Structure 1
Amino acid sequence: MMVIMGKVAVILILIAVGYAVTKCGWFTERGAAEVTSLLIKIVTPCLIVNSFLGDTGTLQVSEMLLAVVVSAVAIALSLVISLITFRNEPPERKKVLRFAVIFSNAGFMGIPLVESIVGGKGVIYGSFFIVVFNVICWTYGYNMMSGGAKMNLRTVLLNPGMIGLLFGLPIYFFKLQLPALLTEPVGFLSNLNTPLAMLVIGSYIARVDLHSFISDLAVYKMAALRLVAAPAAYLAVLLLIRPEPDLLVSSVIQAAAPVAANTVLFAVEYHQDSELASKTVAVSTVLSIITIPIFTILAQLACQFLF
């Protein structure tokens, strides 16, 4: 529990730094928008490719396929939950709230937690969760947040998430050993992901009226769905699927993570309600200090019960 709380605290400190530098006038709205564009178009593909570099282990094909399946189940359950809620919200708020319920912070926060609690094999499983996350995020999520922009083959294949997969998957499956001249720049760029994303989130929180954090009940309803309802439903399904322990625990941690930073990044990039998006990330991240340890313990107890 202390490990998880420590990791969440680091995320909150980075958000606080973004908040502070914005209040000081050192990080403008234009600067935040430009950093957002950099994160989506450059850093995101590098993050995906980097997850497949190095010692990727020796998972069997069946284990890889099961990792993909359970990851898809996690996001599908969240998607179903989102579709039956927030029906009375205005369309511009509904998009952001539903996106927040569907997509967890599986990469920025999930992977570091999985590495600390499960270890190297868990990180490999976590990479497949990120693969599924990006496929759904850059297809269904993109279509929703861009206002129903027409999906074509170019959009599907050439968005930043899919570009990362197109380079990363061959590296994984063919066990390619790339020179350091290529891998080190990719690693450096991918390392920018969490700090820059959290600074951007802090910047947009700094522009939100403090009173609206307390008065916006829809944000707390969203947090209950993202942090409690979705991971609880997912854990119940895993008890039926019975994946091996490392996969079960790592995927539950990622499914129980707070709202994805992409909620803010997409809201800014596609001119949705970035203020609401910032609130969903901030509130869910704070509350996850309580909920993530609970679901991690429940997942470990489930492993003892099943195996």
Structure 2
Amino acid sequence: MISLLLIKQITELFLVMFMGFILVKTHLLKAEESKTLSAVALYLIMPCVIINAFQIKYTESIRNGLILAFVAAVLIHVVLLILVKMLGMIFNLDAVEKASMIYSNAGNLIIPIVTSVLGKEWVIYSSAFISVQLFLLWTHGKMMLCEEQKVDLKKILLNINMITIFLGILFFVTKVQLPDIVIKTMESVSVMLGPISMIIMGMLIGNMSFKQIFAYKRIYIVTFLKMIVCPFIILILLKYGGMASLLSDGKVILLISLLATITPSASAVTQMAQIYGKNEEYASVINAITTIVCIITMPIMVWMYQM
């Protein structure tokens, strides 16, 4: 049932992405103008989503669920780091390919998907994966792409999403409830995350030609490894690792972790590649192709998990 709902939700998001594609192809907007929407999503919508997710009643069940979600997120990333290192030696993967395989677009996609498929009360567990990935992205991911060993902890801790996660947890643990009008306002803003994120993706894809996309011969193997091999190994780990039996809601919480893992490659990798002088066009192509492929692979992985 969940896999069918997921197909419906991903199809809806894909149609919104197509709208962004059309906006660029008809020259109503330029692809560069997607940066403005990215800023709105990053600095306004995402913080509202995260804070709103933690505005629920504190219970021991939710606390334990969060702990399980954090443990699963750390374990998943450790496995991915080791797996991609091994695959890198076999397939001679470069920095952009490795980063695209490790880091997923969970920040943009997982929250709207979880909200639509499972319900907004489950969104709180997705914050665990997002926070672990953000930390690793700005440490390991940055070092890999800019080829330096220095870690900027200040930049990590002052990342707007990390700050809002810390605030959300603080409000949750101290049982602070924001005024109803504030919560309603944040809920109104939060529903925009999925559509805006997909419009941005569509605009970026709209700026590419098919010749550009298929000029990269390695895109097929990278997509296969990112969207099938890595997700399948994580699926096996979560399904048969025994963690789901630790809590009554364990299977659903781990499903959220799986959903976050099997989303397309992170758009943040493209942004970092641009900043640090790597092949940002190739990073964009990987992001675009994995986004299209996820329409098929995500429901299949969820169906296999639920079998």
Matches of 1:148 and 1:39 in 2, distance apart? 29
Match of 2:213 in 1: 213
Name the stretch that deviates more: 22-31 or 54-63: 54-63
Q: Does 1:110 find its partner at 2:110? A: yes
Q: Does 1:75 find its partner at 2:77? A: yes
Superposition deviation, residue 185 in structure 1 = 4.3
Match of 1:304 in 2: none
1:26 paired residue among 3, 12, 28: 28
Deviation string, structure 1 residues 181-207 (Cα, Å, up to 9, x no partner) = 433444444434332222222222122
For residues 81-96 of structure 1, the aligned pairs below 5 Å read 81-86=83-88, 94-96=94-96
One-letter identity of the residue aligned with 1:242: M
Match of 1:259 in 2: 265
* SS in structure 2 of the partner of residue 59 of structure 1: helix
Matches of 2:112 and 2:197 in 1, distance apart? 15
Matches of 1:195 and 1:128 in 2, distance apart? 23
One-letter identity of the residue aligned with 1:294: I
Assess, with a 3 A threshold, how the Cα gap between structure 1 residues 162 and 178 changes in structure 2: closer, same or farther.
same
Matched-pair contact (CA < 8 Å) for 1:37–1:269:
no
Matched-pair contact (CA < 8 Å) for 1:138–1:161:
no
Match of 1:182 in 2: 182
Name the stretch that deviates more: 18-27 or 60-69: 60-69
Matches of 1:223 and 1:56 in 2, distance apart? 40
Superposition deviation, residue 266 in structure 1 = 4.1
Matches of 2:234 and 2:88 in 1, distance apart? 21
Q: Does 1:296 find its partner at 2:297? A: no
Match of 2:203 in 1: 203
Assess, with a 3 A threshold, how the Cα gap between structure 1 residues 186 and 136 changes in structure 2: closer, same or farther.
farther
For residues 264-275 of structure 1, the aligned pairs below 5 Å read 264-267=270-273, 272-275=278-281
For residues 1-307 of structure 1, the aligned pairs below 5 Å read 1-54=3-56, 58-59=60-61, 61-86=63-88, 94-119=94-119, 122-145=122-145, 148=148, 150-238=150-238, 239-243=240-244, 244-267=250-273, 272-301=278-307
TM-score (norm 2): 0.82
Deviation string, structure 1 residues 138-175 (Cα, Å, up to 9, x no partner) = 33334444564843342122122222222221122222
Name the stretch that deviates more: 268-277 or 69-78: 268-277
One-letter identity of the residue aligned with 1:282: A
Matches of 2:9 and 2:162 in 1, distance apart? 28
Matched-pair contact (CA < 8 Å) for 1:43–1:190:
yes
Assess, with a 3 A threshold, how the Cα gap between structure 1 residues 193 and 266 changes in structure 2: closer, same or farther.
farther
Matched-pair contact (CA < 8 Å) for 1:36–1:269:
no
How high is the sequence identity, in percent, across the aligned residues?
Answer: 24
Matches of 1:118 and 1:41 in 2, distance apart? 25
Assess, with a 3 A threshold, how the Cα gap between structure 1 residues 290 and 29 changes in structure 2: closer, same or farther.
closer
Matched-pair contact (CA < 8 Å) for 1:87–1:94:
no
Matches of 1:89 and 1:32 in 2, distance apart? 33
Assess, with a 3 A threshold, how the Cα gap between structure 1 residues 86 and 162 changes in structure 2: closer, same or farther.
same
Superposition deviation, residue 33 in structure 1 = 2.8
Matches of 1:235 and 1:84 in 2, distance apart? 18
Cα RMSD (Å)? 3.0
Superposition deviation, residue 100 in structure 1 = 1.6
Matches of 1:276 and 1:56 in 2, distance apart? 44
Superposition deviation, residue 69 in structure 1 = 0.8
One-letter identity of the residue aligned with 1:70: A
Assess, with a 3 A threshold, how the Cα gap between structure 1 residues 122 and 139 changes in structure 2: closer, same or farther.
same
One-letter identity of the residue aligned with 2:302: T
One-letter identity of the residue aligned with 1:247: I
Assess, with a 3 A threshold, how the Cα gap between structure 1 residues 192 and 114 changes in structure 2: closer, same or farther.
closer
Which stretches in structure 2 are left out of the alignment for 5+ residues?
A: 245-249
Which stretches in structure 1 are left out of the alignment for 5+ residues?
A: 302-307
* SS in structure 2 of the partner of residue 8 of structure 1: helix
Deviation string, structure 1 residues 64-88 (Cα, Å, up to 9, x no partner) = 2221111112222222233334569
Assess, with a 3 A threshold, how the Cα gap between structure 1 residues 285 and 245 changes in structure 2: closer, same or farther.
same
Name the stretch that deviates more: 34-43 or 193-202: 34-43
Superposition deviation, residue 178 in structure 1 = 0.4
Match of 2:247 in 1: none
Assess, with a 3 A threshold, how the Cα gap between structure 1 residues 48 and 268 changes in structure 2: closer, same or farther.
farther
One-letter identity of the residue aligned with 1:74: I
Number of equivalent positions = 299
One-letter identity of the residue aligned with 2:289: V
